[in-house]
Structure formats: C-alpha cells, structure tokens
Structure 1
C-alpha cells in the first residue's frame, strides 16, 4: 500500500514538473509577444510623430512670416498686472521649447522679455540670478517693467543683478514693489526713474503711513497711475501733492470720508478712482466738485463703515460714467439719487455688490428713469469681487 501511494506521488510530481515547464515556455512566449507589442507601439508612435511633424511643415502655421508669429507670441503673455517669471510651463519660455524656429523668433523678440517678477531666496539665489540675467539679456536694451519681491537683506543682490541694466530701468514705465517692512528701501535701488508712469505698492506687513507717504513723495511727476494696498491717513496726503496732482488713475485705501474729499482735491486730473474705504464717522463736508472723474469704484468695509450719506451730500461728479459700490450693509438711495441729479453726469453703468436685499425694483426703476440707457447691475455677494 505504501509503495503504491509513493508511486502515485512521484507520478504526480512528474506531471506537475511537465505542466510547470509548459507554463514557463508559454510565459516566455507571452513575454516575447509583449515585448514585440511594445516595440510595435513605439514604432507606431514614432511614425505618427514623424507624419504629424511633416504635415505641420506644410501647414500655413509654419509658413507664417516672422512678423505675424511675433505678434502671436506677444498675445501669449499674461495680461498686465500678472506675474511674469521664468517658468517652462508659461510664455515666453514655453514658446522657446516648441521647435527651433519658434525658439529663434521668441529669443530675438525683446517685447517678450521686458516684464519680470524678481523674488529673492537666499538658498537658491545663484540659480535664480542666472535665470533672471538670461531673461534680461533678451530684452535687448528695451525699457523694463519690474516687480520686486524682496526684504532688506536682498538689496545688495538686487543691485548686483540690475546694475548691467540700469539704463533700461531708468526708462522703465512700470514698477511693482512688495513691501515687507520699513527697513526695505527700494528707492535706494531705483533712485532716478524719470519715465515712470505706473507704480503698485503691495504692503505685506504693517508699515507707518508716513513711510508710505515719504516713498510716494519721491516718485517722479511723470507718474500717472498709482496703487497702494494699505490704509492711507488724510494727514499724510498733502506731502504727496506733487505726485498726486498729475495722476489719472488711482487705487488706494482711505479711512474716512474727509480723506476721500481731500484726496479728490489733491488729484484734479484723476479720471479713474478705485477706493477701499472705512467710513465710520458722520461728518458734515464742504461741497466739492471734481470735473475729471469718469470711473469711481468703492469697496466699503461692511464691518466698520456706518454712514456714507454725508459723502454723497457733498460730492458732485459731472463727468461720471461708471460707478460701482460693493460690500455695504445698507445703501443711501435718497442721497445717492440726489448726488446723481446734482452732478448731471452722463452715467452709463451702475453696479452694486452685496445689496440684493436692499434694492427694490422701484429703486432700480428710479435710476433707469434718470438715465434711460443705463445698465444697472446688482451682484450676488459671491460675485462681489473687487
């Protein structure tokens, strides 16, 4: 009995070995088929790539004159105000990786390389400065628009980076600066900018208003557009009079209605004004008329702003065409309507944000009766961006 069972086990082992051998042979065949399939797929991809490339060579796109291709490249850049820093995923560097001709056109097109966002990091400055320098060389002497994101200990590095391009910086028409503290003195880097027309000051830390006013007062009289992302006290406005008097566009934070009126008095040529405002005092203001304002946008701080009727009682804007007001708990319809009637302005657009529950159809109709062709927009709170 024992010998019979042992013989069966030996026989089954022989059968198992034979099956395993067959499986191994089949797996070898399957691996070979898999490798062959992969080779064929890769060959198909190469043929497809080559076919598409050669089709592209006869496409009108590849026969576009350099002048037209250059204009297309210019439109590939992000809009004004957007950060423009070295990245292989975005234009203009992205354009240099498509093909040899596109790279040649892009590299030789100075307008693609005249805007630059510079951010200093101690740990990687050597690599970053090489990228920035390569970028700036491609601007080929054209005026530069810079955005600086730096702290006090970065000044030496930035001076070293910008020194070869100082003539282009002097011709600059646009400058954006991120302030991290009062120890940062970017004016020491860029003391003389006689062609400067646009400045944006992004305040990222608490800074005394007097320091901001001091910086603004040093800006040239060529300035036409100014943005300041920090509350600005009325007591410091007059020190900036020589700059404010020439502005046509202004974005600023103010802390009460008297500052609003005083600001308009100092900016007689202002055409567009965007204000973030906190008005929490009821004041009687002297009547004031500003004849140049065409666009007025006010973003009220709904937590601290209490009463704004006094502002509209004093103000007249006879040239106003666009008005926006956002983030306010209640709206002084009576005073605002009187302001419009008194101004006799050619209003074209009226936008309210976060006031859906506070404006009735009757109130909307009154504005339309005053200006039959006006567009009245009441935004939902989630739409009320500023």
Structure 2
C-alpha cells in the first residue's frame, strides 16, 4: 500500500470542505495469471504470493467500504440540507403569493363562493366557513367579517358530530351571522334524535327567528311548534314544511299565524286542513306534496291562493270524488303536476299559463279533465313538458291543442318511440303541422330499431319549415351522423346522455 495523501472532502457534520487523509488503494497484481484458467497445481512459491495478494485485496475492500460509508453520510447530510433549502424556498414563496395582495373585498368574494359550493350539512368540523377561520389570523379576521357566509345552516339528526357542544357551536355561528337573513334547513327525526339534542338545536335557532328568511323544516312530530303563542317570523319569505304527524290541530296556528312577508310555501304535511292558517293570498308560489285532500279543502285553498304565479302538485291523493267549481288563478304562469289524479286539473282555470309540466302514470290514458284543461289553456302555452308518457297518438292530439309552443320536452317516454309517433311531428306531413313555432325539442326514451331516417326527416323538416334550432335526444342511434347533416341547417343537436 502506498502512503496516505490528502484530499479536500465535505465535512459530514456541516457539509463544508475540509482536508482529510486520502487512502490510495493499489490494485493487487496476479503473479501467476496462467493458473487462473487451468486446473494445474501451482508451486509453493505461487501459492504464497497468491495468498499475499488476496490479503491485499481484502484490505482494499475494507478501505473501500469505509470510504463508501463516509460518502453516504455526506450524501445523507446533503440531502437533508437540500430539503431544508427547498422548504425555505417554498415557505418564503408564500410570502410573495398573489393572494396576499388581494384586497379584503375581493378575498371576501372568494370566500363567499367557496362557502356557497360547500355541499356538507352543518358540521363545525368540516364546513368551509369553519375551516377558513383556522388557516391564519388574517383569514380568520376576513371570514368573521363576512356575516353572509355564516347565514346558511343545514341540520339533520345525524349531521353534527356527537362530541361537540352543539348548542354553543350553533350559537357562535348565529352570532357571527350578525343581522343577516338566515337560511335554515332542519331535518329532525324524533325517533333517532334525543330530546336534549333537539332542544340544543331548536333553542338557538328560534332565538334568531326574527331573521329567518328561507326555512325548510322536516320533522316527525310537531311538538317543537309549542314555543310560545306570540311566535312570529317577520322576514320569512320562503317556507318548506314537512311533518309526518301532528296531533295538535292548533300547532300551526300558534306558530305560523304571523308571516307577513311569506312568498313561497312548500307544504308536505299529510292533512290539507292546516294550510288555511297561512296567508295564502300573498303567496307567489305554492307547492303541495304528498297531501290527501277533500275536494272542498283543495278548492278553498286554491281560492285563497288566487295570486300565485307558480303551482306544483305532487302525489296529491283525493279522499272523495265530489265535483266542485274550478277556481280561476289569473296570474298563474307555471304549473307542474306529478303522480296526481288528473281530476286535479278540473279545479284550475289558468288563462295566462305559460309553462306546463305533467308526469303521467305509466301507460295512463288521456282523461277528459286533462283534455279539457289543455283546451282552455293551450292557446297561451309556450313551454310544455311530458314525463313518463306513452309514445302514442293521443299525446300528439294534446300538442294540437297548444299551437304556440316554443319549447317541447317529452321523456322519458314509458313506451318505445315508434315511426308513426315521429312522423306525426314531421312538418308538412299530413293535414296538421304540430307545434310549428318550436324552437327547442327534447326527446328521451328508447327508439325502435330503424328510426334513423324518420327522426332525421322530422328534425330536417322542422329546421327548414320552422324555427327549430336546438334539440336534445337520448336513446337514439347514430346521433353523431345525424348531427353532421343537421349542422348545415343551423341545428344544435345534443345527446342528452352526454355532457353538453
């Protein structure tokens, strides 16, 4: 081995260069290479020399491994230092982040959009407004200064975690909402929500009832309505009420008798008798869901709600078949009827109706009430929607009663969409030209095989002879080929199964 020399290496402790002894390793030289590729017995002198060279090589291996260990320690130290420098750069780049230069007004707008897109129910452990206050002192100050992001509360019996002080957290949120109008969504199942937990939710909310603006309440019992006889909601404009059972006939009278600003009522209570305690004459929208009614009660409700602009009836079941005089709703422009008996339409006269949506029972036949209603209102209709209707000729007969439609949506159809049904909508075919002013059409369902030519002919005729410019089709084949032929006519054809 040759004597040691010196070289400049990095210190394992600090990483800076220092002088360290360099171990120069001389490769061993074989004194008898001719024996490496044969099986001859070497003489004793060769055996002694070979053993000496093997010892030199083994010593070299030890020195090499020691050198490698030193280098690995230096590399590990350098890796740690590199990561430290990267962390330094990352942390200090945050100081230069553009969001720090945003004015408070713009940052507040961003926070508001973040909270609006938050789909979670009320939960202080994961709601966006509660997360923002934990980011930094600056963001906390901005978040607390925006009462609007604290004004929406959606609570169900299982939404908030069990290990928090629900009443304290809810009171803090109401405090941070300042004087903003509140939007409350309350779903409590009294079978799974203890009385103590219910009160921890209801007491803070009712303490701020003077700020309720939009409220949706779904309960299994009406006992929470017994707070005080003088309960009032001066700013309440939109109310959704769903109670499965109410043993107290005066419960609604005691709590909802003072709603001077109410504009929308979504009513999902089994009995219709309680609704008359609301100020129906000032409503602009009325939704009745899952209601069983006497003919006289429904007629009375429609007579009181004479100024509504929108009416939705869903799963309403009659208790009798008594004939009543229809009520005129002079301002009604939108009507939606789903899974209801067609006799409901006999209760309504809507001289200025613009939008009508009807969801049929599968394979239901046309009733005289529906035909009579379409005859009365068809001339004013501009937007018609049929859901779950069979693709039969009697549906085309209804279209003939609405000559001024500009938007028609049919689907999903409950039967196969056949050639005759499509041809019935083709312009210039037959004596009648159905829906001549249609600007947009929508058909969803399952088309019969070989429908391509008839569907293409129908859409082409409406582009050439009418103002059709938009069509949404689902369940048809070769829509891509059809689109290429209709583009030159200015029609935007969309497969409604795909994102437009």
Q: Which of 209, 218, 229 in structure 2 is aligned with 1:169?
A: 209
CA contact (8 A) 2:210 2:235 kept: yes
Q: 1:53 to 1:84 in 2, by over 3 A?
A: farther
Number of residue-to-residue matches in the alignment:
360
TM-score, normalization by structure 1: 0.71
Give the conservation status (yes or no) of the 8 Å contact 1:246–1:269.
Answer: yes
Matches of 2:132 and 2:356 in 1, distance apart?
39
Q: 1:53 aligns with which of 85, 95, 98?
A: 95
Which of 98, 102, 107 pairs up with 1:63? 102
Which of 268, 274, 282 is the aligned partner of 2:336? 274
Residues 48 and 120 of structure 1: CA distance in aligned 2, closer, same or farther (over 3 Å): same
Q: 2:180 matched to which residue of 1?
A: 142
Higher RCO (C-alpha under 8 Å, 6+ residues apart): 1
Quick one: structure 1 residues 333 and 29, their matched pair in 2 at CA, closer, same or farther if it must change by over 3 Å?
same
2:340 paired with 1:300: no
Distance 2:334 2:211 in 1: 25
CA contact (8 A) 1:155 1:189 kept: no
Larger helix share, 1 or 2 = 1
> CA offsets per residue over residues 261-312 of structure 1, 9 Å max, x none?
9898385543333332244x8x79869630243322233343xx51235343
Distance 1:301 1:184, change over 3 A: farther
Partner of 1:216: 275
Instruction: Give the aligned partner of residue 9 of structure 1.
Output: none
Q: Once the two structures are superposed, what CA deviation does each residue of 1:300-335 show, in whole Å capped at 9, x if it has no partner?
A: 343xx5123534311132543322222223353343
Match 1:130 to one of 160, 164, 168? 168
Q: Retained in 2: the 8 A contact 1:177–1:201?
A: yes
Query: Contact 1:201–1:229 (CA<8 Å) still a contact in 2?
Result: no
d(CA) in 2 for partners of 1:289 and 1:239?
14
Maintained 8 Å contact 2:387/2:410:
yes
Determine which structure has more spread, i.e. the larger CA radius of gyration.
Answer: 2
Q: 1:86, 1:132 within 8 Å by CA — same for their partners in 2?
A: no
Q: Distance in 2 between matches of 1:50 and 1:218?
A: 64
1:371–1:161 CA distance, 2 compared to 1 (3 A)? same
CA deviation after TM superposition for structure 1 residue 377, in Å:
1.4
Q: Secondary structure in 2 aligned to 1:173?
A: strand
TM (norm. structure 2) is: 0.57
How far is 1:219 from its partner?
3.7
Distance 1:77 1:84 in 2: 12
1:151 equivalent in alignment to 2:189:
yes
Provide the secondary structure at the position in 2 that maps to 1:146.
strand
Q: Which moved more, 1:315-324 or 1:138-147?
A: 315-324
Q: Separation in 1 of the partners of 2:422 and 2:85? A: 69
